[in-house]
Amino acid sequence: MKTKRPPDGGANENNGETMNDTKYFDACVESIRALVAFDSSQAAPLPGMPFGKGAADALNAFLDLAQSMGFAVRNYDNYIGEVLFGEGEEFAVLCHLDVVPAGEGWTHAPFGGEIEDGKLYGRGTMDDKGPAVICLYCLKALRDEGFVPRRTVKLIVGCNEESGWQCIEHYRKCAALPRDGFSPDADFPVIYAEKGIVHAKFRFPLPDPPFADLRAGERPNMVCAHAFAAGAAFDAARAARHGVVQEDGGVAAYGVSAHASTPDEGKNALGMLFGYFAEEDERIRRIYDCLFADVHGLRGLRDGTGSLTMSANVASYEDRSLFVTADIRYPATMREEDICARLAAFGEYQLLHCQRPLCGDREGALVSTLRRVYERETGLCGEPVAIGGGTYARALENGAGFGPEFPGEPSTIHQKDEYISLENIKKLLRIYRAAIYELTR
């Protein structure tokens, strides 16, 4: 099969930018804005729409865009879809179009796609609609230049990455995942390992609580930003110590959301609220000690991929019991069974979601090629790293995470005012185009 290499690896004399960066940049930005307009957070299923209308509409809009570019597309029952380019052994670029709920406190419309001060705002701009659209335009740029890959590139876009991976399970029933690939849903330089993930729902009997009701959090993988206890007595001095406020006949706490894999980047409102009650209620003190004071020493577990993190992010009071769901990210060389054995010390619990770790070869061809592309396109040195986040890369036999977050830049993923900078869109158009080229030529 004949291949055509873009001149000088695709670079011209315009400060290293490719002609296609300039040619497709405006269209790429507008396509990201159009896709951000869909609230594709998981909703109640509808006929033919397993994750709700927003997710299905986003998937079909993306596939329609790809089809308008001349690519073959497949829609697997509105669970997940793919765009096809080339022939031969398959290679995956794994993205997702669903998002976490917008949450509160935005200064820009979360689904407005507003551009201000060189930034494109909206839920999904970085996680992961923006990178998905950028990768699609990279495929178009390569094809328009005459490049014919020696492998079939499958740009796979799921609709349930944030809430359980049923989309990947459905894909496995309908098709075969490629052996190799990368997911543009992580960090640069390149991710070779990802911690294991456990979502555990704990039940703490509490027949006579110091409140009438309690609700907190939106999703297990989002640091709890708001917690409210109805019918609770308010003590101003105690409230000041824990940062809670009196509200609607009860007590409320307002924190800062963040991705649950990096809980220290946020401020957990549930921990603030539990701390308030723990001063006067020994039962809640024990719950607080388990979940936030780490009396069982889970956070001391670590290996070369980092320390275990635990973030209690969703809570409710039902049937005379307090239910709390925690997001746990454990070191990649450890076993899920060993982590769960330690959870028995907390009391009764139910496993809601589990993902085995990703342990890739940091010296292997995939990681080495992605590292080389990153260094060449940015002029920076980069060592392969491990993260607590979980990407589709772990669904592959040989997968890696590759961007879109650059080292040293602030992260707004799962936070209010999520954005992608216009300058980074230009960089990503170069980097992902080069990566796909190098891995499929």
39, 57, 82, 98: the active-site residue: 98
What are the structure tokens assigned to 360, written together? 């890739």
If we measure between CA atoms, which residue out of 107, 34, 101, 24 comes closest to residue 64? 34
Question: What distance in Å separates the CA atoms of residue 326 and residue 220, rounded to the nearest whole number?
Answer: 6
Angstrom distances, CA of residue 345 to CA of 287, 313, 437:
12, 19, 50
161, 185, 194, 377: the active-site residue: 161
Q: What φ, ψ does residue 347 adopt, rounded to 5°?
A: 115, -150
Q: What φ, ψ does residue 51 adopt, rounded to 5°?
A: -120, 20
The verdict on whether 39 is a catalytic residue reads: no
Question: What distance in Å separates the CA atoms of residue 392 and residue 162, rounded to the nearest whole number?
Answer: 10
Question: Beta strand 191-194 with 385-387: parallel, antiparallel or unpaired?
Answer: parallel
Question: What distance in Å separates the CA atoms of residue 336 and residue 209, rounded to the nearest whole number?
Answer: 33
Angstrom distances, CA of residue 257 to CA of 227, 254, 263, 271, 427:
12, 9, 8, 13, 27
Angstrom distances, CA of residue 152 to CA of 91, 263, 266, 352:
6, 38, 40, 35
Angstrom distances, CA of residue 123 to CA of 32, 38, 282, 401:
11, 9, 40, 20
The verdict on whether 98 is a catalytic residue reads: yes
Question: What distance in Å separates the CA atoms of residue 431 and residue 378, rounded to the nearest whole number?
Answer: 8
What are the structure tokens assigned to 145, written together? 């230049």
Q: Catalytic residue positions? A: 98, 161
